[in-house]
Every structure is written in structure tokens, then in C-alpha cells.
Amino acid sequence: VQLAESGGGLAQVGGSLRLSCAASGFTFDGYAVGWFRQAPGKEREGVSSISSIDGSTYYEDSVKGRFTISTDNAKTTVYLQMNSLKPEDTAVYYCAAGGEWIGPLDFRNWSEYDYWGQGTQVTVSS
């Protein structure tokens, strides 16, 4: 079971990036997938998650209306579309897979997730 993030890079303030999280050796069917980020000197924080059971999506308040999480039909890739980027979005972004349903109270809790990718750097410059 492996997760691999891609799509990070350098973006301007107000710009967009789309992150991808690809599953290897399994599919996301039966898993909830979350995106986390960690900025230098800060704790890892939950950004968004999506459940494979009912497609429920959750977002941290600071990204609501700007970020969108989605999955492909084959449930092998989860995306995080990031629009209207801000300097405070600069961080290493990680995807993680956990139990089949992780609800709105728990999606930010890193201990709910069992598998993690290596991360991809997102830098937003002004």
C-alpha cells in the first residue's frame, strides 16, 4: 500500500495548483482520504477529506470555498484543487488514507489515518 503525491510547486498569490494523490497496490474504495499540510515550525493540520462510502467532503475553515477535494471514477486518485492561493497556504502537503468513513469531527485528526504519502511542497509567493 503506497500513496504518492504530485502537483506541488510554486504559485503566485491568487493562483491555482492541483495536487494528486495516487494509490499504488490498492484503490481508495473503502477508504476515507484526507489531505494534510505542515508549514515550517507548525503542527500538521488537516485540510480536507473525502469518504468513499458516500462521497462526503469536509474542509478546514481557512480553505472552504477555495479548495476542492475529489476522486476519479476508478478511485485510484484523489485530487485537491487549490484556487485563490495565499502565502499562508505554503506548506508540505500530505495525503493519507484511513477508515472507510471519517466524519466532520475527526477528519483533521491525523491518528484516524493509516497510510501516508511522502508529501509535496507547495510554495505561494506574493
Q: How far does Cα 93 stand from its chain's mean position?
A: 7
Higher-confidence residue of 123 and 104: namely: 123
Q: Rounded distance, CA 9 to CA 2, Å?
A: 22
Q: What is the DSSP letter of 53?
A: T
- Backbone phi, then psi, for 23, in 5-degree steps? -90, 140
**C-alpha 89, offset from chain centre:** 12
Mean of per-residue pLDDT scores for the chain: 95
The tens digit of pLDDT for each residue in 2-19 reads: 999 999 999 999 999 999
Q: Residue 91: which pLDDT band, with cuts at 50, 70 and 90?
A: very high
15-64 pLDDT per residue, tens? 999 999 999 989 999 899 999 999 999 999 999 999 988 899 999 999 99
Round the CA-based radius of gyration of the chain to a whole number and report it.
13
Q: How many residues does the chain have?
A: 126
Task: Note the pLDDT of residue 8.
Answer: 98
